Chains A and B, each alone.
Chain A
């Protein structure tokens, strides 16, 4: 028990260290600030002018998808941060200390929640300006934000593993795109999944990014009345299904990345 508390303490020390970096290198925030704005405006005005969702504004439909996509992209930060620590040798320092073996990764994934929270705030403001509204009350909207952050947190653990496995920061960015692009595009993020061809449709329906998006839209009240109930179970129970993924991802990737951390050395 005391060991557990001490481990949490270690994680907080690391998280604090990561957050100091945001203050010292504000340029890192540029990506966090600009890309959500860019995504919202780009999709709202480029695709938004061409795609028609019956009975609703595409922009309102879109926001949930952009939120989900951006926070998944945000996980790249976790990988890049760990890869940089590896490259600079500070991981060796941490590994020679009598600290918890998961704290470096746990601290990183925790501090990246702050990045994602900032990014969600910026996106919400931008979304609001282009016509997106919360139609279902503040408590549900808060639940939507919480679910997004939770999913982002879980996904950070996936990218943590990637960050500890690759030789440099640049590779993290390339490697993560391979994972993130299909995950965020073969989904209901930008188009309704019912229109997709067979196998893609199945993938999209069971893709957790779709369920996050669906849950977000429902909680924000961005699904117009009269929209038919989705056929797939995950989209019928998007919050539950997303939470199942959150638990599963952490259960699998936390031990994997910790194991990787134990063996990771600069050579």
Chain B
């Protein structure tokens, strides 16, 4: 598959701050690239550059066959952008917002109107469509913003943190919508701070930090690098820790680590989630080992960062301790 978005060596600095430090990326046609990173990693800068909002200091890129620097107008004709901050006019109604965007894509009066109605329907905003956006909830605004990016049915979409700040239900609604979009063959670049979001939506994940790529692969690849799921068991009596270790060994997919006061907490890498946890607990119980605390952990972005960069997601952490 040809690459629809291709960037090489993008750099950008704002005064002292290096926002992008030689970023390369490629998104194949009809696929979703998840750009994953903490706040300040350079995600928004990357999107701003690829959508022609900001000129890079260095590097080259093509988007949907148009050169970013030499043909920014062509790029704009072929993309849709939905930003982190819902960029809709709150004094206009949902319909007026979409109609305006259609007109500005120069669709003509009637096609713009028809498209606006169609999108309101698709995004479940028909009832709210003739109310000013000011009255919308956060989730509704995001949906409208996303609809705005789709007005001209562009072949390439950029979604900058589409669900940041949303409640879990609205987040799920948006995920469903985005999954549908991708099903229709759009090429999508999505930024997110959440590993589970990237996992859910992206075919390929690019982890960035300090403006450069630090890891790339499928969600499974990334999780593999991070270490996957694990059970943390704290035994009630420290002298049973060794026994517990041998009981849990058959469930482990890797080395069992131990920490905590007198090594009473065992960290067991597993696959299979809760059912495996249940079996493990049964086994411990069967051998009469008392358990004081137990936890099933999935890798979070924090874990990913710790594993990939050696620092946590807080800007310049290093204060990580157990």
Contacts and interface: CB of A to CB of B under 8 A. Distances in A.
A12 to B, nearest CB: 9
A95 B90 contact: no
Nearest to B134: A24
A25 B52 contact: no
A174 interface: no
Interface in B44-60: 48, 51-55
B91 A13 contact: no
A92 B87 contact: yes
Contacts of A21: 89, 91-92
B48 A10 contact: no
A26 to B, nearest CB: 11
Contact of A93 (B14, B87, B103): B87
Contacts of B51: 96
A96 B76 contact: yes
A9 interface: yes
Interface string A75-100: 00000000000001110111111110
Nearest to A23: B91
A92 B83 contact: yes
A93 B148 contact: yes
A266 interface: yes
A99 B88 contact: no
B132 A89 contact: no
A99 B104 contact: yes
Interface string A248-267: 00000000000000010111
Contacts of A13: 100, 103-104
Contacts of A266: 85
Given A24-B132, A90-B87, A266-B85, A95 B52 contact: yes
A237 interface: no
A24 B91 contact: yes
B161 interface: no
Contact of A97 (B48, B88, B105): B105
Interface string A97-110: 11100010000000
B81 A6 contact: no
B105 A88 contact: no
A6 B96 contact: no
A90 B14 CA distance: 22
Interface residues of B, number: 30
B79 interface: yes
A24 B96 CA distance: 12
Nearest to B90: A88
B101 interface: yes
B92 A17 contact: yes
A88 B79 CA distance: 21
Nearest to A21: B91
Contacts of A263: 55
B96 A20 contact: yes
Contact of A265 (B48, B104, B148): B48
A189 B148 CA distance: 48
B106 interface: yes
Contact of B52 (A17, A88, A93, A96): A96
Interface string A1-39: 000001001100100110011001100000000000000
B297 interface: no
Name the residue among B91, B96, B101 with the largest chain A CB count within 10 angstroms. Answer: B91
Name the residue among B52, B76, B89 with the largest chain A CB count within 10 angstroms. Answer: B89
A95 B86 CA distance: 15
A89 B85 contact: yes
Interface in B179-236: none
Interface in B76-123: 76-77, 79, 81, 83, 85-92, 96, 100-101, 103-106
Nearest to B48: A265
B128 to A, nearest CB: 15
Contact of B53 (A9, A17, A20, A92): A92
A17 B89 contact: yes
Interface of A: 6, 9-10, 13, 16-17, 20-21, 24-25, 88-90, 92-99, 103, 263, 265-267
7 contacts: A20-B91, A88-B87, A88-B89, A89-B83, A89-B85, A95-B53, A96-B53
Given A9-B103, A88-B85, 10 more contacts: A10-B104, A90-B87, A92-B53, A93-B87, A95-B52, A96-B79, A96-B81, A97-B101, A98-B73, A99-B105
